[in-house]
Chain A
Amino acid sequence: MLSWYEIAHGLIGGIFVGAAYALLSAGFSLTWGVTRVINLAHAAFALLGSYITLTLLEMAGIDPLVSIVFIVPLLFLLGLGLHYFLIKPTAKRTRDITGASMVLCFGLYIIIENLLVIMFKSDDRVLHSRYSDISLAIGPISVALTSIISLAIAAVSLVIIYFFLNRTYTGKAVRAVWQDREGAMLSGINVEGVTAITYGLSLATAGVAGLCLVLMYSVTPFIGFSWLVFVFLVAIMGGLGSILGVTVGGLIVGLIVSLGSVFIPLAYINLVLFVLLIIVLLIKPSGLFRR
């Protein structure tokens, strides 16, 4: 017999996981929208964030929360580099950047994954911070402090991205380029700069999402692929190109995974997710939140 306790546990767990996946998918959705690039290496960059957190803590004793200060600028720069040194020169030579970028990013994914294996070996790594073994009681349910921190970081980051895209000039420019590249160019938007910023933002959020995920789960260099599958699920379910959609998509996927594991074996949850995704796509072929 299922107890309310288990269901409530599943619900809360789903929100924690969902928020992290939502943040992870936001950047993927951004680069797709602005440049039509399917960044298969997106989750690998998130993993980079996880390993930076781990290394900073183990080598220098730097608190995981403080490591955001290192992750964000570093991955932002990497994003700029990705745009200026890899995507842009490739886009110049072809009309079909989607196809070419997939091969490019797949190569990048292989590079990052194996770089991580060389540097950190392929075994499971767990973050042992000073937040680790503390749990808080919410009513009868005890929740790990790390999960709450992860949720807070993810939520704050998503809100920041949302306000950036909707309230600031640069953010509005990003959305303008997204909707109509040539139109944006004609209205005097620096499309080049906006695209670069999008990549920076995309990888920076991926890095922070990696931090959120490493707070809750152990990581290996090979976990990037399963994260990528979730990124796909979330971004497609929510509709590519909407922060609100990504957030809701993330929560839906998180809740299904977490609640599902209360009722059915883990292997079937993926099946449920995929079938659900295909049903959603058939009813609304461009995701739940795309107009």
Chain B
Amino acid sequence: MNKKNLNILKTAIPWAVILLLFVFPFFKPDIFFLSVGVILFMYIALSSSWNIIGGYSGYMSFGHGAFFGIGAYTVALLLIEFGYSPFITCVLGGLLAAVFALIVGYPVLRLKGPYFSLATLCLGLAVPVVVINMPNELTGGATGLFMPLLPVDIFVNRTIFYEIMLALAVIATLISRWALQSKFGLGLNAIRENESTAETIGVDSTRLKITAFVLSAFLVGVIGGIFAYYRTYVHTTTVFDVNLSIMIVVMALLGGAATWQGPVLGATILIIIDQILISAFPGLPAELSRLIYGLILVLVIMFMPKGIIHFVNVWLRSRASAAGAEEVQK
């Protein structure tokens, strides 16, 4: 096969897969698959968004749960108080998260390496404390906020959220791909490799970092808003989950943080493993399935510490060069 055909195939296959995923609900699949799809696409979108700041620039944020929660609460409040549809207000939720990221970004992005990671972790833990202690009529306090269900039956409901999350995943992945391949991404990569050197060759590191942080927070906020409406219930423990903050980091790192494909791959693999462990072995105790999950995580990262995508690329290249050598011999 020649190179041009290969390139066409390389773009055609992902779009064909996406198209198939979009029409999937119209074949009336079991509702379980739609629920898995919603969660899977959500994590792909989240992890891809995180990657813009965490992977490309190397500023590993552990506080993205804060942006997620801000989006979720904004949507819930606007629906309950004013009846605005979450499908529109999720943009507002994203904007609010972005503004918050802008405010905290200036001081926090001055910190380097683990100091940044841990400061953002603290941020992710502090925001829910503020929210839960706000006046009860505003945020529902410790009881949380309940939203009205969409007036459709459960299958249609799941289908709607499945399609929206899939769209969000595609958009987030495209934005993250654009970010990597543009001058913007080049600057971020330079910051990751060596920030002071990047500055000396004219990279405006503060502006780039803030932009990446804000963009990342905006996307996560939007996703949080949609998730809130999907669950129809918002509470600090469900939307400001530290586990979520850590999971999206782990997914991106496992897939390969410096690439745009990494988070997609990492999220897909982890969610599928998780679902298989939960649903394929119903007799398995939850602790044991979690334990196996941890074990898989350890083993995969031990053998592919640069991420799965890097491992796959090396393998493909070695195969391509082997094929090339064969051709020469002929």
Contact = CB atoms under 8 A, between A and B. Distances in A.
Q: Do the two chains belong together in a single complex?
A: yes
A262 interface: no
B281 to A, nearest CB: 15
A256 to B, nearest CB: 13
A268 interface: yes
A91 B302 CA distance: 9
Nearest to B106: A282
Contacts of A271: 126, 129-130
B133 interface: yes
Contacts of A108: 294, 298
Contact of B288 (A113, A114, A232): A114
B306 interface: yes
A90 B90 CA distance: 41
Interface residues of B, number: 45
Contacts of A109: 294
A180 interface: no
Contacts of A165: none
Most chain A CB atoms below 10 A, which of B257, B290, B305: B305
17 contacts: A32-B114, A90-B305, A100-B253, A103-B297, A104-B298, A107-B301, A110-B290, A110-B294, A110-B297, A111-B291, A114-B288, A236-B114, A278-B122, A282-B107, A285-B110, A285-B112, A286-B115
A111 B285 contact: no
A268 B114 contact: no
Given A114-B290, A282-B110, A275 B126 contact: yes
Given A109-B294, A110-B294, A281-B119, A102 B126 contact: no
Interface of A: 32, 38, 86, 89-91, 93-94, 96-100, 102-104, 106-111, 113-115, 117-118, 225, 229, 232-233, 235-236, 240, 265, 267-268, 270-271, 273-275, 277-278, 281-282, 285-287
B254 to A, nearest CB: 6
A152 B297 CA distance: 39
A110 B268 CA distance: 19
B246 interface: yes
Interface string B286-302: 01101101111110011
A114 B294 CA distance: 9
B108 interface: yes
B113 interface: yes
A268 B133 CA distance: 8
Contacts of B293: 110
B269 interface: no
Given A38-B114, A98-B114, A270-B125, A90 B301 contact: yes
B301 A100 contact: yes
Interface of A is mostly: helix
Nearest to A231: B118
A127 to B, nearest CB: 23
Contacts of B305: 90-91, 93-94, 96-97, 100, 104
Contacts of A270: 125-126, 129
Contacts of A38: 114, 117
Interface of B: 60, 107-108, 110-115, 117-119, 121-123, 125-126, 129-130, 132-133, 242, 246, 249-250, 253-254, 257, 285, 287-288, 290-291, 293-298, 301-306
A109 B293 CA distance: 11
A238 B299 CA distance: 33
Contact of B118 (A86, A89, A91, A236): A236
B296 to A, nearest CB: 8
Top 8 A-B residue pairs of the complex, sorted by shortest distance between their CB atoms: A107-B297, A110-B294, A100-B305, A94-B305, A107-B298, A111-B294, A274-B126, A274-B122
Contacts of B246: 106
Contacts of A229: 121-122, 125
A99 B60 contact: yes
Contacts of B110: 282, 285
A32 B250 CA distance: 19
B122 A233 contact: yes
B111 A285 contact: yes
A84 to B, nearest CB: 12
A98 B114 CA distance: 9
Most chain A CB atoms below 10 A, which of B107, B118, B257, B304: B118
B309 to A, nearest CB: 13
B129 A111 contact: no
Given A232-B121, A274-B123, A96 B306 contact: yes
B107 to A, nearest CB: 5
Contacts of A267: 129, 132-133
B27 to A, nearest CB: 35
Nearest to B112: A285
B291 A278 contact: no
Nearest to B242: A225
A106 B285 contact: no
Contacts of B242: 225
Given A100-B306, A106-B250, A108-B298, A232 B118 contact: yes
A72 to B, nearest CB: 25
A48 to B, nearest CB: 15
